[in-house]
Amino acid sequence: MQSVPSHVASLRLAQPACLDPVSALARLVDHPSDWLGTPVAGAADGRRRFLTDLSFPLREHSPSLTFSKAAYVEIGEGRRDSDHADLDIEWRSASLAPLFPVFSGRLTLTAGELCLEGFYAPPAGEFGMVLDKAFLNIAARGTARWFLGRVAETVSSSSDCQ
Protein backbone atom coordinates (compact mmCIF):
# COMPACT_ATOMS: atom_id res chain seq x y z
CA MET A 1 0.00 0.00 0.00
CA GLN A 2 1.30 3.44 -0.95
CA SER A 3 2.11 5.84 1.85
CA VAL A 4 0.23 9.15 1.81
CA PRO A 5 2.08 12.30 2.89
CA SER A 6 0.79 13.84 6.11
CA HIS A 7 -0.15 17.10 4.36
CA VAL A 8 -2.54 15.37 1.93
CA ALA A 9 -6.17 14.41 2.58
CA SER A 10 -8.22 11.78 0.84
CA LEU A 11 -11.52 12.61 -0.79
CA ARG A 12 -14.24 10.29 -2.06
CA LEU A 13 -17.66 11.46 -3.14
CA ALA A 14 -20.26 9.52 -5.07
CA GLN A 15 -23.72 10.24 -6.34
CA PRO A 16 -26.32 8.01 -7.94
CA ALA A 17 -26.56 8.16 -11.72
CA CYS A 18 -28.41 6.38 -14.46
CA LEU A 19 -26.14 6.33 -17.50
CA ASP A 20 -24.21 4.28 -19.98
CA PRO A 21 -20.59 4.66 -18.82
CA VAL A 22 -19.04 4.41 -22.30
CA SER A 23 -21.29 7.01 -23.95
CA ALA A 24 -21.06 9.25 -20.86
CA LEU A 25 -17.26 9.16 -21.03
CA ALA A 26 -17.43 10.01 -24.73
CA ARG A 27 -19.54 13.10 -23.90
CA LEU A 28 -16.91 14.21 -21.39
CA VAL A 29 -13.77 13.65 -23.49
CA ASP A 30 -15.05 14.45 -26.98
CA HIS A 31 -16.30 17.95 -26.13
CA PRO A 32 -14.61 19.01 -22.88
CA SER A 33 -14.93 22.72 -23.65
CA ASP A 34 -18.70 22.35 -23.33
CA TRP A 35 -18.44 21.55 -19.63
CA LEU A 36 -14.94 22.62 -18.56
CA GLY A 37 -14.40 25.97 -20.23
CA THR A 38 -11.54 27.41 -22.22
CA PRO A 39 -8.74 25.12 -23.43
CA VAL A 40 -5.26 26.36 -22.51
CA ALA A 41 -1.75 25.10 -23.19
CA GLY A 42 0.50 23.66 -20.55
CA ALA A 43 -0.68 20.13 -19.89
CA ALA A 44 1.71 17.22 -20.30
CA ASP A 45 1.52 13.45 -20.72
CA GLY A 46 -1.47 13.45 -23.08
CA ARG A 47 -3.58 15.52 -20.72
CA ARG A 48 -5.71 18.49 -21.70
CA ARG A 49 -5.93 21.66 -19.60
CA PHE A 50 -8.89 24.01 -19.26
CA LEU A 51 -9.42 27.33 -17.52
CA THR A 52 -12.69 27.16 -15.63
CA ASP A 53 -14.45 28.44 -12.55
CA LEU A 54 -14.83 25.89 -9.78
CA SER A 55 -17.60 26.71 -7.33
CA PHE A 56 -18.28 26.04 -3.70
CA PRO A 57 -21.95 26.59 -2.85
CA LEU A 58 -22.91 27.25 0.77
CA ARG A 59 -26.09 25.25 1.09
CA GLU A 60 -27.16 26.65 4.45
CA HIS A 61 -27.78 30.13 3.06
CA SER A 62 -30.94 31.21 1.29
CA PRO A 63 -30.64 32.51 -1.31
CA SER A 64 -27.70 30.28 -2.05
CA LEU A 65 -24.28 31.84 -1.61
CA THR A 66 -21.59 30.51 -3.95
CA PHE A 67 -17.86 31.13 -3.96
CA SER A 68 -16.11 30.69 -7.31
CA LYS A 69 -12.42 30.34 -8.06
CA ALA A 70 -10.64 30.41 -11.40
CA ALA A 71 -8.84 27.10 -11.74
CA TYR A 72 -6.97 24.94 -14.19
CA VAL A 73 -8.63 21.57 -14.61
CA GLU A 74 -6.70 18.84 -16.40
CA ILE A 75 -8.21 15.66 -17.76
CA GLY A 76 -6.36 12.58 -18.92
CA GLU A 77 -7.25 9.98 -21.47
CA GLY A 78 -10.48 8.17 -20.74
CA ARG A 79 -10.41 4.44 -20.05
CA ARG A 80 -13.27 2.05 -20.72
CA ASP A 81 -14.04 -1.39 -19.38
CA SER A 82 -17.05 -3.65 -19.74
CA ASP A 83 -18.94 -2.14 -16.80
CA HIS A 84 -17.29 1.21 -16.08
CA ALA A 85 -15.26 4.08 -17.48
CA ASP A 86 -12.88 6.45 -15.78
CA LEU A 87 -11.01 9.68 -16.34
CA ASP A 88 -8.06 11.18 -14.47
CA ILE A 89 -8.89 14.65 -13.09
CA GLU A 90 -6.68 17.31 -11.51
CA TRP A 91 -7.31 20.89 -10.52
CA ARG A 92 -5.36 23.77 -9.05
CA SER A 93 -5.76 27.50 -8.70
CA ALA A 94 -5.24 29.60 -11.83
CA SER A 95 -3.63 32.26 -9.63
CA LEU A 96 -1.31 32.25 -6.67
CA ALA A 97 -4.25 32.21 -4.28
CA PRO A 98 -3.02 30.50 -1.13
CA LEU A 99 -6.41 29.26 0.07
CA PHE A 100 -7.26 26.83 -2.71
CA PRO A 101 -6.51 23.09 -2.51
CA VAL A 102 -4.83 21.11 -5.28
CA PHE A 103 -6.73 17.93 -6.22
CA SER A 104 -5.60 14.84 -8.10
CA GLY A 105 -7.83 11.85 -8.63
CA ARG A 106 -10.13 9.90 -10.83
CA LEU A 107 -13.72 10.20 -11.97
CA THR A 108 -15.34 6.77 -12.32
CA LEU A 109 -18.61 6.26 -14.17
CA THR A 110 -20.77 3.17 -13.76
CA ALA A 111 -24.36 2.51 -14.77
CA GLY A 112 -25.51 3.46 -11.27
CA GLU A 113 -22.97 5.95 -9.94
CA LEU A 114 -20.56 8.81 -10.53
CA CYS A 115 -17.60 8.72 -8.16
CA LEU A 116 -14.83 11.26 -7.65
CA GLU A 117 -11.96 9.84 -5.65
CA GLY A 118 -8.46 11.08 -4.99
CA PHE A 119 -6.32 13.29 -2.81
CA TYR A 120 -6.11 17.00 -2.19
CA ALA A 121 -3.46 19.11 -0.60
CA PRO A 122 -4.85 21.92 1.52
CA PRO A 123 -2.84 25.13 1.34
CA ALA A 124 -0.11 25.77 3.94
CA GLY A 125 1.16 22.19 4.38
CA GLU A 126 0.90 20.74 7.90
CA PHE A 127 -0.83 23.86 9.24
CA GLY A 128 -3.29 23.60 6.37
CA MET A 129 -4.12 20.04 7.42
CA VAL A 130 -5.01 21.27 10.89
CA LEU A 131 -7.31 23.88 9.35
CA ASP A 132 -8.66 21.27 6.93
CA LYS A 133 -9.72 19.05 9.81
CA ALA A 134 -11.44 22.01 11.43
CA PHE A 135 -13.25 23.51 8.47
CA LEU A 136 -11.42 23.64 5.11
CA ASN A 137 -12.55 20.11 4.22
CA ILE A 138 -16.05 21.54 3.93
CA ALA A 139 -14.85 23.71 1.04
CA ALA A 140 -12.95 20.83 -0.60
CA ARG A 141 -15.93 18.48 -0.37
CA GLY A 142 -18.35 21.20 -1.47
CA THR A 143 -16.24 21.96 -4.54
CA ALA A 144 -16.00 18.25 -5.37
CA ARG A 145 -19.79 17.87 -4.90
CA TRP A 146 -20.36 20.82 -7.25
CA PHE A 147 -17.94 19.25 -9.78
CA LEU A 148 -19.80 15.93 -9.66
CA GLY A 149 -23.05 17.81 -10.24
CA ARG A 150 -21.53 19.50 -13.29
CA VAL A 151 -20.45 16.10 -14.64
CA ALA A 152 -23.93 14.69 -13.98
CA GLU A 153 -25.51 17.57 -15.94
CA THR A 154 -23.16 16.87 -18.84
CA VAL A 155 -23.62 13.12 -19.02
CA SER A 156 -27.25 12.69 -17.99
CA SER A 157 -29.74 11.77 -20.64
CA SER A 158 -33.30 10.58 -20.21
CA SER A 159 -32.60 7.79 -22.73
CA ASP A 160 -29.96 6.28 -20.40
CA CYS A 161 -32.60 5.25 -17.87
CA GLN A 162 -35.05 3.49 -20.13
* pLDDT tens figures, 35-64: 999 999 988 888 999 999 887 766 655 556
Domains of the chain: 9-157 (3.30.530)
User: How would residue 142 be classed by pLDDT, with cut points 50, 70 and 90?
Assistant: confident
Q: Is the peptide bond before 63 cis (omega within 30 degrees of 0)?
A: yes
Give strand pairing partners of 121: 102
Is pLDDT of 109 > 60?
Answer: yes
Sheet holding 113-121, edge to edge: 9-16, 113-121, 102-110, 84-93, 65-80, 48-58, 38-40
Mean pLDDT of the region 94-98: 73
Question: Confidence band (pLDDT; 50, 70, 90) for 127?
Answer: low
Report yes or no: 142 and 123 within 8 Å, Cβ to Cβ: no
How does the average pLDDT of the chain come out, rounded? 81
User: Helix, strand, or coil here: 95?
Assistant: coil
Give every CB contact of residue 73 below 8 A, 6+ residues apart in sequence.
36, 37, 49, 50, 52, 54, 89, 90, 91
The pLDDT of residue 126 is above 70? no
Higher pLDDT, 118 or 66: 118
Supply angle C-alpha 116, 94, 138, rounded to 5.
45
